[in-house]
Amino acid sequence: MNVALATTALSFALAGGAKADDDLQGMMSDSKNWVIQSGDYANTRYSQLDQINKDNVKDLQVAWTFSTGVLRGHEGGPLIIGDVMYVHTPFPNTVFALDLNNDGKILWKYTPKQDSNVIPIMCCDTVNRGVAYADGKIFLYQADTTLVALDAKTGEPAWSVKNGSTADGSTGESGTSAPMVVKDKVIVGISGGEFGVRGHLTAYNIKDGSLAWRAYSMGSDKETLIDPEKTTHLGKPVGTDSGTNTWEGDQWKIGGGTTWGWYSYDPKLNLIFYGTGNPSTWNPSQRPGDNRWSMTIMARDADTGVAKWLYQMTPHDEWDYDGVNEMILADGVEIDGKPRDILFHPDRNGFAYTLDRATGELLVAKKYDPAVNWATEVVMDKNSPDYGRPKVVDKYSTHKGGEDVNTTGICPAALGTKDQQPAAYSPKTKLFYIPTNHVCMDYEPYRVSYTAGQPYIGATLSMYPAPNSHGGMGNFIAWDAAKGEIVWSKPEQFSVWSGALATAGDVVFYGTLEGYIKAVDLQGNELYKFKTPSGIIGNVTTYEHNGKQYIAVLSGVGGWAGIGLAAGLTKGTDGLGAVGGYAGLSDYTTLGGQLTVFALPGK
């Protein structure tokens, strides 16, 4: 590690022993900072800053840039805390502290030592979705599943803990998600569903890294932290052994349901919300049953981890529609004439779900891309035995098709109508701004055996633009979660794989795989675009420093959609089927790793 002592003190250093979330919530309320990857606990990715607005955004200029020195997919975004910006990279997971008062001078740099064997078991590029901050510490979740707490002023490690069972990739476990701090705990998930890893969400005490609680996605009631009488699914108690009794034999032990997406938190309810991923293997014939609790929205008590309610969106997943996408919390959304405090979740499966976040009541479930065809609807009749379940179309069922049969024309593709790229919510418009994929697939399951640390996929895929449409592979949409309707849709040539940002200046920002950062007004009209050095899969953020508002974004093509470029893959069957579908991307961008910061001209 190369450490230079910080010459500029953090403006918001936390006093030792203080409750981290009390300080964080205060810092989140000051839009000059960006102190959590999602902008706030509610995952809204909304900023009250309005110096840059719909009338002047056309005048944006590059203020400064910073090269990360890494040529893989750059997801997530920087944190801005007072006068210091913290920038992260994909593997090897370097963290930089930059002095905003001194031309971005590197205050310190931390590069962990990791076993390179972890690289080949990271299914969809060596991405990292960002660092967290609390209590004067920067929390880095490394690819090898090590969670390390760094002194925010010096970069010196305070403690570290191994979240996986190994740190050498031998069991297929990896770390890609951004940690989240709640109260005196830091929350992390686990990646590796394509290697038969059993998912879990884990809380560590921020003071010393000791284990507070761990909740598995499937397993016994003790392991899943489920109360069979008090934990509910669509309003009814889940009953005993709900985490094992929809699995055949011991398949649940390698059942997937990993937790590599985004987490949110409601301080009033004291609930953490997140989603679980696909069941293992991708061959549905090898795991009959609903495969609970994969593909599930979970609401857990932040102190104990005990589940209050669950909702499984895609029982017995047959298409790899992970449920890990963000849960956005919005207050006072009027549904059927009544204001509701909701949880909004645009799922990989192509349905956007609106739920009451206190009870888990399902309020709305509608397709947010017209191309979605694997199911006709989600059953909303509470008296139906199929309440809350999707109506699957037999033609697109890979289970009914059977092993070694290629089921064609399934929409969306396995990477979903959207993947982890987070949407934004504006409390001014009460609309959600969603980056989406407009992609379909062919899917052929095959029998596969489990070996620890080896791919446990069991399907061959090919992907392509949705037919009979605009010809592109993405849309950026505005969504009404109360009505379940697209308000407007802006087509893009490739999937929109960046996170969105909405601001009080009536501007919404996002990035494209070709490398453009774009700004649109509240009607979707393009106001500004600038091409950065590489494709954007990072999340757009904003902050204010010395009275001036800035927009920041990481560019560096990669992730699942850009895996062909990032990892040098060329065959359409490589990269879990994404390589062929995105082959044209190489005509528009190439590898890079750069932070680009924008501002209006003038002092």
Residues assigned a catalytic role = 320
Residue 230 one-letter amino acid: K
Distances (CA, A) of 452 to 165, 196, 234, 289, 322: 12, 8, 35, 23, 21
What is the SS3 assignment for 495?
Answer: coil
**What tokens were used for 11?**
């403006």
Distances (CA, A) of 133 to 23, 138, 443, 514: 11, 5, 41, 31
Eight-class DSSP state of 108: E
Residue 429 one-letter amino acid: T
> What's the CA dihedral at 236, 241, 242, 243 to 10 degrees?
150
**What tokens were used for 154?**
């010096």
Angle at 310 between CA 289 and CA 318, to 5 degrees: 35
Please state, as a whole number, how many other Cβ atoms lie within 10 Å of the Cβ of residue 11.
12
Q: Judge whether 180 and 187 are in contact, CB under 8 Å.
A: yes
Q: Beta strand 296-301 with 236-237: parallel, antiparallel or unpaired?
A: unpaired
**Which burial class, exposed, middle or buried, applies to 9 when counting CB atoms under 10 A from its CB (0-12, 13-18, 19+)?**
exposed
Q: What are phi and psi of 21, to 5 degrees?
A: -70, -25
Eight-class DSSP state of 502: E
Q: Beta strand 307-312 with 232-233: parallel, antiparallel or unpaired?
A: parallel
DSSP 244-275: TTTSSTTGGGG-B----S--EEETTTTEEEEE
Sheet order of strands, 439-445 included: 407-410, 439-445, 459-465
**What tokens were used for 144?**
């090898």
Rounded Cα gap, residues 193 and 217, in angstroms: 11
What is the SS3 assignment for 459?
Answer: strand
Q: Which residues contact 464 (CB under 8 A, 6 or more apart)?
A: 439, 440, 441, 580, 581
Q: Judge whether 6 and 108 are in contact, CB under 8 Å.
A: yes
For the chain, what percentages of helix, strand and coil (3-state, to nearest 5) are there? 10, 35, 55
Instruction: Give CB contacts under 8 A, 24+ apart, made by 57-60.
Output: 57/505, 57/507, 57/519, 57/527, 57/528, 58/527, 58/528, 59/600, 59/601, 60/519, 60/528, 60/530, 60/551, 60/598, 60/599, 60/600
462 has which bridge partners? 442
> What's the CA dihedral at 306, 308, 312, 313 to 10 degrees?
-120
What is the SS3 assignment for 598?
Answer: strand
